[in-house]
Amino acid sequence: MIRFFAAPIAAIALLTAMAGGAFAEEADSRDIMGGGPNFFRGGSSPIPRTTVMYNGNYAPGTIVVNTSERRLYLVLQNGQALRYGIGVGRDGFRWGGVHRITAKKEWPDWTPPSQMIARRPDLPRHMKGGIENPLGARAMYLGSTLYRIHGSNEPETIGQAVSSGCFRMTNDDVSDLYGRVGVGTTVVVLNN
């Protein structure tokens, strides 16, 4: 009698384990596509997003990029700001000024500007948006410049000076910022 039930019980255990594995794969997929530590393979930021006291003279809703700190601030009410870690332009590519966000795109395509292709002829001429795209999950375009605040699938570059003038954030952080600001938002870039 025990032998009769052993095979079905083993089969049920096997099916349960297989279903558990499928559930684990589904959970990992949700992490990649819906947030969490593996969000869009962007990893977590080495510089955690945090609310800080902020003494700048900027209206709430203004984005302030401090290239020397390698931090981006979204000014809030009551003398506070959300502080994000960013990657900035390497030597010779840092800049300053005041612009507005003129466009926002989810999973943007990337077409390297001619100046970048002249420096790096190995780059693709165009790349569709997606996980492998260097603009990451979101991009906010700054005025008529070639620059953007955008995501990255290289979280290790956050806090570094490695870009050609754009401001990189983890995909999780750029998605958070993207949801908080709109087209027309003022962006102040401080290049000390």
Taking phi first (over 0 means left), then psi (-120 to 50 degrees means alpha), and beta for anything else, what does residue 107 get? Answer: left
Of the candidates 47, 77, 30, the one whose C-alpha atom is nearest the C-alpha of residue 173 is: 47
The structure tokens 């709430």 sit at: 60
Question: How much of the chain is in helix, strand and coil states, percent to nearest 5?
Answer: 30, 25, 45
Question: Is 166 a known active-site residue?
Answer: yes
d(Cα 38, Cα 31) in Å, to the nearest integer? 6
- Catalytic one of 142, 158, 166, 187: 166
Rounded-to-integer distance, Cα 65 and Cα 56, Å: 12
> How far from 40 is each of 21, 71, 170, CA to CA, in Å?
21, 22, 9
Catalytic residue among 45, 150, 159, 187: 150
99 is a catalytic site residue: no
* 22/88 Cα distance (integer angstroms): 40
| 148, 30 Cβ separation under 8 angstroms | no
- Measure the CA–CA gap between 127 and 134, rounded to whole angstroms: 9
Q: Which residues are annotated as catalytic?
A: 150, 166
